[in-house]
Amino acid sequence: MDSFNAFLLTIDGLLGSSPWFPFVLLGVGFFFTAYLGFPQIRFFGHAWKVLKGKKSEKNELGETSHFQALSTALSGTVGTGNIGGVGLAIFLGGPAALFWMWMTAFFGMATKLVEVTLSHKYRQVTKDGTVAGGPMYYMENRLNMRWLAIFFAVATVISSFGTGNLPQINNIAVSVETSFGFAPIATGAVLSVLLGLVIVGGIHRISIVSSTLVPSMAFVYLVGAAAVIIPNIGNVIPSFISVFSDAFTGSAAVGGFLGATFAYAFNRGVNRGLFSNEAGQGSAPIAHASARCEDPVSEGMVSLLEPFIDTIVICTITGLVILSSGAWSEKYENRFQGADLMYLQGEISDQDEAGRERLYQYLALNNDEAISPYTGIVSIDAGQAQNMQDFTVMHSRSIAEDVHYSVDGEPFTGQLNVQDGVLTDEGVELTGKSLVHSAALTSIAFNQGLFGSGGQYIVSIALILFAFSTAIAWSYYGDRAITYLFGPKLVMPYRVVYCLAFFVASFTDTTIVWNFAAVSVVVMTLPNLFGIVLLRKEMRQLLTGYTKE
């Protein structure tokens, strides 16, 4: 698994985590914002009116209403990205990352208007009588690029696992185990069965479940967030200030957080913003293609609201909870995961300026000369390392404290081998204090409010609803891609594999799951961005014609 994780990190370094990708994603959004005359501002009020039913008739082609299509698309975006994704972005980039998530959402509103409008225009009725749409249809029917359409459809199938399946159940399982003590494999087994019962019914059942879950989960989450923000209201303004003040400078070291450069915060914020609202990824157009609507621009108007609701509203609330509570920079007792674990040469402290500077050089500036990975022996007696002067344990980008070694719950005694910073011995479990990230960080932050330790249950319940609804929506995206590639006959086998993967991911290493998600998102996004830029003139003509009606 370490080798596979290293492979994913290499690919991610060339794609999503590369210096150029955030500029491409934001650049396309900025281009359409300017090219179409700031549609996210001009048509914001109008979009709400369309959602309420204007320009939509029951006898028009399609299978869902505007609201059901929006709910399905929102259920695909409002998931672990809003809970775990924000926690991961702030963990990696500090408060500045939240600013760049906002920018991704603002410009993404224009991007989503474009991709949904174009995809809706070129949707078609399939052999089984259902409506199918998405970027693959405009790529083939308008651009005459079947090769690009096939590539996108394959990427959609992969991303249905990487975006909508694996990270969702993995975060649910971690959160449920932390809050309720249920084993991840048990959580995965129960929810994979429920998932199968929902998705076998197709878009009709999916849209009904989604339109019910989305409002419910939003209400539960807002109540829990308010319970944290209200008692920490004095920290809200300073939190906002840090978001803006750090946006172009990077975030300084605070507590266990060792700092992040502007470039890193920018990259992580844009990357997590995309994972959260999916603007430009090409997923939402597949859901909106099912809407009963003849004018593609009116459906594009509805989709314009998604990045606003998903990121500017819900992700901001999550960010304020994490920042105002102070949980993002504190170390907590947790179980160490191998992909987040590294042994460094020598004894290094994060309590003195010299040590913090070396760690900042190593983590934030990627200066391998500042610190070397440790190779050697770790001598353990009754669960405690005896030669701690030889090495420093780093977990989750922070210096680990009170590290304990055990096997099957019993203190370990013996010697462990470390090669180039990696613990090679399997079966030994490490626990201790370190920074936490993803859903675990959000759960801890929710405990810092009026509900006390009960706040984590709010997160767990919300996460189950958020993430489960995302998995439902992405199963539909995947089966539309399968339908495009192979026809309806392979949809049911795909759904079976989808449910099995959902089960397996419940007890898989969280870091590996997130790294796979990061790669799959970008592989799907790039061809879609390329396609909508080619159709920019047609999009402007459609929008101009719509405004003259």
CATH of the domain at 144: 1.20.1740
Across-strand partners of 378? 416
Q: Under DSSP, is residue 345 helix (H, G, I), strand (E, B) or coil?
A: strand
Question: Does residue 287 share a domain with residue 181?
Answer: yes
pLDDT greater than 50 at residue 281: yes
- 483 in Cβ contact with 162 (< 8 Å): no
Last residue of a domain, one of 434, 453, 483: 434
Average pLDDT for 184-211: 83
Question: Does residue 372 share a domain with residue 501?
Answer: no
Question: Does residue 397 share a domain with residue 341?
Answer: yes
Q: Under DSSP, is residue 422 helix (H, G, I), strand (E, B) or coil?
A: strand
CA distances from 444 to 207, 253, 404 (A): 32, 20, 21
Handedness of CA 9, 522, 506, 394 (dihedral sign): positive
Within a domain: 527:
yes
Higher pLDDT, 328 or 164: 328
Question: Does residue 297 share a domain with residue 176?
Answer: yes
Within a domain: 218:
yes
Within a domain: 259:
yes
What pLDDT band is residue 322 in, cutting at 50, 70 and 90?
very high
DSSP string covering 61-122, please?
A: SSSB-HHHHHHHHHHHHSSHIIIIIHHHHHHHH-THHHHHHHHHHHHHHHHHHHHHHHHHHT
CA distances from 271 to 172, 198, 525 (A): 21, 30, 11
All residues at 6 or more sequence positions from 549 whose CB lies less than 8 Å from its CB, including other chains: none
Higher pLDDT, 129 or 40: 40
Average pLDDT for 368-397: 94
Lookup: tokens for 187 = 């959580």
At 400 the pLDDT is 96
Within a domain: 288:
yes
b/e code 94-113 from CB counts within 10 Å (16+ = b) = bbbbbbbbbbbbbbbbbbbb
At 59 the pLDDT is 58
Helix axes 455-486, 438-446, angle to 10 degrees: 150
Lookup: tokens for 26 = 């934001």
At 208 the pLDDT is 75
Helix axes 66-77, 44-51, angle to 10 degrees: 120
Average pLDDT for 259-279: 86
Say how many C-beta atoms besides its own lie within 10 A of residue 450's C-beta: 13
Last residue of a domain, one of 367, 400, 434: 434
Question: Does residue 542 share a domain with residue 418?
Answer: no
Lookup: tokens for 117 = 């409008």
- 431 in Cβ contact with 410 (< 8 Å): no
Read off the amino acid at residue 111: T
Strands (E), 109-233: 124-125, 131-132
What's the pLDDT tens digit per position in 386-442?
999 999 999 999 999 999 999 999 999 999 999 999 999 888 999 999 999 887 898
Average pLDDT for 237-251: 92
At 124 the pLDDT is 86
At 233 the pLDDT is 93
Angle made by CA atoms 33, 36, 41, in degrees to the nearest 5: 60
What pLDDT band is residue 357 in, cutting at 50, 70 and 90?
very high
Closest by CA to 174, choosing from 161, 165, 183, 163, is 183
At 337 the pLDDT is 85
Closest by CA to 134, choosing from 528, 397, 538, 440, is 528
As separate numbers, helices (DSSP H) first and strands (DSSP E) second, the chain gives: 25, 15
Angle made by CA atoms 332, 9, 475, in degrees to the nearest 5: 85
- 29 in Cβ contact with 107 (< 8 Å): yes
Question: Does residue 417 share a domain with residue 301?
Answer: no
Within a domain: 440:
no
Could you give the percent of the chain with pLDDT greater than 90? 53
Question: Does residue 306 share a domain with residue 236?
Answer: yes
At 75 the pLDDT is 65
Closest by CA to 442, choosing from 256, 224, 268, is 224
- 501 in Cβ contact with 196 (< 8 Å): no
- 184 in Cβ contact with 174 (< 8 Å): yes
Question: Does residue 260 share a domain with residue 150?
Answer: yes
Question: Does residue 382 share a domain with residue 313?
Answer: no
At 58 the pLDDT is 55
What pLDDT band is residue 511 in, cutting at 50, 70 and 90?
confident
Burial class (CB in 10 A: 0-12, 13-18, 19+), 356: middle
Closest by CA to 317, choosing from 230, 253, 244, 437, is 230
Higher pLDDT, 78 or 193: 193
Across-strand partners of 395? 341, 398
User: Picking from 277-291, 483-497, 502-516, 521-535, which range would have the lowest pLDDT averaged per residue?
Assistant: 502-516
What's the pLDDT tens digit per position in 8-36?
888 888 887 788 998 999 999 999 999 99
Question: Does residue 370 share a domain with residue 300?
Answer: no
At 76 the pLDDT is 64
Strands (E), 458-501: none
492 CA to centre of own chain: 27
CA distances from 86 to 61, 141, 396 (A): 38, 37, 16
Last residue of a domain, one of 415, 434, 453: 434
Q: Which domain holds residue 419?
A: 333-434
Question: Does residue 454 share a domain with residue 380?
Answer: no
DSSP string covering 257-321, please?
A: B--EEHHHHHHHHHHHHHHHH-TTTS-HHHHHTTBS-S-HHHHHHHHTHHHIIIIIIIIHHHHHH
Ordered strands of the 341-345 beta sheet: 341-345, 391-395, 398-399
Q: What is the DSSP letter of 234?
A: G
At 56 the pLDDT is 47
Provide the residue count of the chain: 549
Within a domain: 237:
yes
b/e code 486-525 from CB counts within 10 Å (16+ = b) = eeeeebeebbeebbebbbebbbbbbbbbbbbbbbbbbbbb
Instruction: Say how many domains are in the chain.
Output: 2
User: Picking from 46-55, 246-255, 460-469, 471-480, which range would have the lowest pLDDT averaged per residue?
Assistant: 46-55
CA torsion, ordered 137, 141, 144, 145, to nearest 10 deg: 10
Q: What is the DSSP letter of 495?
A: H
Average pLDDT for 227-248: 93
351 CA to centre of own chain: 32
Question: Does residue 429 share a domain with residue 291?
Answer: no
Within a domain: 37:
yes
Within a domain: 182:
yes
Helix axes 296-303, 96-121, angle to 10 degrees: 160
